[in-house]
Structure 1
Amino acid sequence: MASPVWQYYKVSEKDNKFAFCNVCSKVVPRGGTRQRGFNTTNLIRHLKACHIKEFEEFTKLASVKADKDKERATSSQTPLTQLTVTETLKRQQPYSNDNKRQKELNAKVMEFICLAQQPLSVVEDAGFKRLVSCLDPRYTLPGRKYLTDVCLPELYRNVYTHIESLMKDNIRAVSFTSDIWSLSVCPVSMLSLTVQFINEHFELTKVVLHSQEFPGSHTAEALAAVFTDMFQAWGIPQEKVHVILRDNARNMEKAMRDARLPSLPCMAHTLQLAVHEGVLAQRAIIDVIASGRRIVGHFKHSQLAYSRLFSIQKQMNPNQPPKRLQRDIPTQWNSTVAMLKSLLEQKRALCAYAADFELPSMLTVHEWKLVENMISVLDPFDELTKTISSSTAAAADVIPSVRALTRLLEKTTETDHGVKTAKTTLLEAVKRRFSDIESERLYTIATLLDPRYKDRYFPVGLKPQVRRLLSDVLAAAAEQEEVSEPPQKVPRAGSLHAMHAELLAEDEQHEGGGGNISSAASQINLYLSEPVIPNSHGQPLAFWKANKDRFPALAQAARVFLSAPCTSVDSEQLFSTAGHILDEKRNRLTPKNAEMLIFIKANLPVMLLNQK
């Protein structure tokens, strides 16, 4: 608190080393030349020497302030009790194994290992031990065996219980993705099963159910049996399985049919097949890609060559940092496009390099133009692949994306020179591989229920048919709800309530259908008559959350159909996690422990988020 003496002074605005006396306006120095050296001694002396009355008032105020400060300090102090020698020694001893703090820290260490994808042997690392000892000297790190046998199963059970309760919490239907992955560090194959659904708050939730070992031959019969066991383990009835996104392998497709599970191919895989068939199978393009790989390989295997290329890049663009050429993965066409883009970007630097140094291959003027035109053709495919691989992509994006893609390929542009045949072949491949998407019920209904698309991407002659299909879906949902609802209490005959019911029933018959169907039809007409929301920043689930009271039947259908993804990217990303867990340092990790680590890594953030 400020001294009471400031009731009689004011700090100078021009120089804060001085203060003005409010009584006589005299300038009094505050003492010192810096702010931290200022004091009130000179101010008090001036009052005492020149203003006796004001000095006496100040003395009384200072005395009252001192008493209050003393009282406040006394009340805030806690009585100190001296610990005995035994108690002091006890507080320095390590926690016992059954100590609550020891168990809490064990759980946190296990969470750290799972979330950071660290090996269990990290507890034996000298640096990690020193860190933990500094944070809490009384805590003793458990051994790797204790973590494996006790902490890991305990954390797995906690996460499993949470995910199990989450799955049972008012879910109308769930969608899945699945894929098979073979490890490079050990002869083990793993089968994934991820799930996503939309809860009653119209929030999309994604969890991992399985990433288990899949030994033996990958036949359709074996796959069907494993899928049946996985759904039974989680108590998921077959009628709640909305769709499973899978790859285009025939054994996986047949397995879904044998297990009577609805499934669809991954759109990203289908696009990849179309690109390989339409573009990357052309002889001229194959030769250009091969030359590009030899160029990139030359620099990847020679640091001296890269140093020379970097020097040329700096001379041409002194303000830009040097860039490396990208190597492609033959099985991923978009990585090939990225490689060609990096080559085209460094075209001038590569030509300058080839003038002074030897290259295993170099593109001609015609080939450079071919690369440029091929990139312009494949850029929309690359953009679409990134879009459908995002976490918010859904089955509703398939029909609009394919319609936009085919229209783009049908247009003639100046960049078609040299790639016209490839572009025509690519268009045919896209049309053939996506020829039946509009007849697929899931794609059609999902597109209609997406407020960004509605029925705008369907041909005019097909719109009445898709509207009837949506009406049938809502009618079937209404019938299921009526079956599940308890019987309504019948009004007493002759009562006024009974007359209201009779009039309403006659009106429904006059309108030509039941109340639910009529209501659903009006919802469809009103919903489809309104403008679509902008695709650039529109959020379908946010729209349905805000309009669930206006369109209750449509909103519940949206929870089902918009939950379906359009790719199996979630399963593929899961295997990226598995690749970090099952590496060269942990190639002896048992499949059971590996699955628990992957399960916790994927689902622990979901549990922690829901607990906030």
Structure 2
Amino acid sequence: MAEDDSFIGLIAYLKPHYVIPSRRFFTENVLPDLYEELRKNIAAKVAKVDHVSFTSDIWTCPSSHETFLSLSAHWITVEYVRKNAVFHASHFSKSHTGVNIADKLMNMWEAWNLDAQRRRVLVRDGATNMLLGSNLSEIESIHCSIHIIQFIINDAILSHKKDVLVKSRRLATHFNHSAKACSEFKAIQSQTESEMGKAPLILLQDVPTRWNSAYLMLRRMEELKRPLQLYLSDHDELPNFSSSEWQIIEQVVTNLQPFSQLTIEMSAESCPLSTVIPSVSTLARFFEKTADKEGIKITKQRLLSALRTRLFCASRLEVLLLIS
């Protein structure tokens, strides 16, 4: 920002004699000072806490392709107020073995003077290397519940509806990569939905690593069914949906809606781990209800089976109850 021509011009107009510090000045002086001040403030608060819980994940930056390991801390103050802070987003250049992950986590905890007695629980993904790293670093750990829910959705629905998903992604990509197609599609919407006063929308692209994205993509497809059919009638080169495939989209959206709502609620910063069991039990009861349509009934049976396999096993419930 300090080197942006427009920003420099703005400051020159507001204060002609002011010299903007260089980018190097900010990166080597201002930011380190701000970081150190904030770190001391958080460390002083954490030092007063008996137990701290954590979340951790490994991800790769899409632009630089560098890998990082994060560590966020969660605790309750003596006034019973929930607090959290990102302790680290550390460059992780080594191979992602359990031993290396454990070493990295241990170094992070040592930097904050958090011994084993104060480390309560670590929420992680289900990868075997993260599980091993957690075990080697002497902390109780649990698989992220929302991550498990995404596996359930894939097991029961997405893995069985690949043709519909492939077509939906192809159409979303078509509009996202063509300004002309997007303008034409919006014009059709303006004509067909002008009486409803709705603003034109675009199709959404799902992202495998983003929760609820497949549901949002298919829901938008269903919402824009009429203008999409009109557009596709003049573009034979693009895939179209048959009547049975539109029914599948409707069924998938209906079944994924409760999962989407649960994911949003459980992703909230104030959501405690103790909500997992009642939330998932409520979800199971919802899908135990009989359905009139055979297709929906079969999908619900798959969902219940996946729920029981991944979340209702005795050992996992025992761990959840212990931690809650």
- Length-normalised TM-score, structure 1: 0.50
Q: Which residue number corresponds to residue 152 of structure 1?
A: 31
Q: Contact 1:275 / 1:333 at 8 angstroms: preserved in 2?
A: no
Q: Which residue number corresponds to residue 288 of structure 1?
A: 164
Q: Which residue number corresponds to residue 52 of structure 1?
A: none
Q: 1:177 aligns with which of 47, 52, 55?
A: 55
Query: 2 CA distance for matches of 1:124 and 1:297?
Result: 35
Query: 1 CA distance for matches of 2:52 and 2:162?
Result: 42
Q: 2:307 aligns with which of 417, 430, 434?
A: 430
How far does residue 353 in structure 1 lie from its aligned partner after superposition? 2.4
- Given the superposition, is the C-alpha separation of residues 307 and 180 from structure 1 closer, same or farther in structure 2, using an over 3 Å criterion? same
AA in 2 matched with 1:364: S
Superposition pairs of residues 430-469 of structure 1, within 5 angstroms: 430-434=307-311, 435-436=313-314, 437-440=316-319, 442-443=320-321, 446=324
Superposition pairs of residues 303-322 of structure 1, within 5 angstroms: 303-318=179-194, 319-322=197-200
Identity of aligned residues (%): 33
Query: 2 CA distance for matches of 1:286 and 1:339?
Result: 14
1:256 aligns with 2:153: no
Superposition pairs of residues 66-77 of structure 1, within 5 angstroms: none
Q: Contact 1:298 / 1:359 at 8 angstroms: preserved in 2?
A: no
Query: 2 CA distance for matches of 1:144 and 1:256?
Result: 39
Tell which has more relative contact order, 1 or 2 (C-alpha 8 A, sep 6+).
1
1:382 aligns with 2:260: yes
How far does residue 181 in structure 1 lie from its aligned partner after superposition? 1.3
How far does residue 325 in structure 1 lie from its aligned partner after superposition? 0.9
Query: 2 CA distance for matches of 1:389 and 1:406?
Result: 19
Task: Tell me the SS of whatever aligns to 1:281.
Answer: helix
Q: Contact 2:232 / 2:238 at 8 angstroms: preserved in 1?
A: no
Q: Contact 1:244 / 1:263 at 8 angstroms: preserved in 2?
A: yes
Query: 1 CA distance for matches of 2:3 and 2:171?
Result: 45
- Given the superposition, is the C-alpha separation of residues 343 and 134 from structure 1 closer, same or farther in structure 2, using an over 3 Å criterion? same
1:221 aligns with 2:99: yes
Q: Contact 1:396 / 1:444 at 8 angstroms: preserved in 2?
A: no
How far does residue 331 in structure 1 lie from its aligned partner after superposition? 4.2
Q: Contact 1:373 / 1:417 at 8 angstroms: preserved in 2?
A: no
Task: Tell me the SS of whatever aligns to 1:361.
Answer: coil
Q: Which residue number corresponds to residue 371 of structure 1?
A: 249
Task: Tell me the SS of whatever aligns to 1:208.
Answer: strand
AA in 2 matched with 1:147: F
Task: Tell me the SS of whatever aligns to 1:193.
Answer: strand
1:406 aligns with 2:316: no
How far does residue 425 in structure 1 lie from its aligned partner after superposition? 1.8
Q: Which residue number corresponds to residue 212 of structure 1?
A: 90
Task: Tell me the SS of whatever aligns to 1:140.
Answer: coil
Task: Tell me the SS of whatever aligns to 2:295.
Answer: coil
Task: Tell me the SS of whatever aligns to 2:54.
Answer: strand
Q: 2:150 aligns with which of 272, 280, 288?
A: 272
Q: Contact 1:178 / 1:191 at 8 angstroms: preserved in 2?
A: yes
Query: 1 CA distance for matches of 2:120 and 2:219?
Result: 40
Q: Contact 2:175 / 2:182 at 8 angstroms: preserved in 1?
A: yes
Q: Which residue number corresponds to residue 269 of structure 2?
A: 391
1:236-277 deviations in whole A, cap 9, x for unaligned? 111111111101100000111112111111111111111111
Q: Contact 2:71 / 2:88 at 8 angstroms: preserved in 1?
A: yes
- Given the superposition, is the C-alpha separation of residues 129 and 353 from structure 1 closer, same or farther in structure 2, using an over 3 Å criterion? closer
1:417 aligns with 2:294: yes
Q: Which residue number corresponds to residue 44 of structure 2?
A: 165
Q: Which residue number corresponds to residue 298 of structure 1?
A: 174
Structure 2 stretches of 5 or more lacking a match? none
- Given the superposition, is the C-alpha separation of residues 161 and 277 from structure 1 closer, same or farther in structure 2, using an over 3 Å criterion? same
Q: 1:141 aligns with which of 20, 31, 38?
A: 20
Q: 2:67 aligns with which of 172, 175, 189?
A: 189
1:284-325 deviations in whole A, cap 9, x for unaligned? x11111122222233233333323322221122112211111
- Given the superposition, is the C-alpha separation of residues 218 and 357 from structure 1 closer, same or farther in structure 2, using an over 3 Å criterion? closer
- Given the superposition, is the C-alpha separation of residues 309 and 172 from structure 1 closer, same or farther in structure 2, using an over 3 Å criterion? same
Structure 1 stretches of 5 or more lacking a match? 1-121, 447-612
Across the two proteins, how many residue pairs are aligned to each other?
320
Task: Tell me the SS of whatever aligns to 2:158.
Answer: coil
Q: Contact 2:185 / 2:227 at 8 angstroms: preserved in 1?
A: yes
Query: 1 CA distance for matches of 2:191 and 2:14?
Result: 51
Q: Contact 2:291 / 2:297 at 8 angstroms: preserved in 1?
A: no
Larger CA Rg, structure 1 vs 2:
1
Q: 2:122 aligns with which of 213, 236, 244?
A: 244
Whichever structure has more strand as a proportion of its residues is 2
Superposition pairs of residues 79-118 of structure 1, within 5 angstroms: none
Q: Which residue number corresponds to residue 78 of structure 2?
A: 200
Q: Contact 1:399 / 1:444 at 8 angstroms: preserved in 2?
A: no
How far does residue 131 in structure 1 lie from its aligned partner after superposition? 4.1
- Length-normalised TM-score, structure 2: 0.92
AA in 2 matched with 1:271: I
Query: 2 CA distance for matches of 1:191 and 1:274?
Result: 26
How far does residue 195 in structure 1 lie from its aligned partner after superposition? 0.5
Q: 1:336 aligns with which of 188, 191, 214?
A: 214
Task: Tell me the SS of whatever aligns to 1:176.
Answer: strand
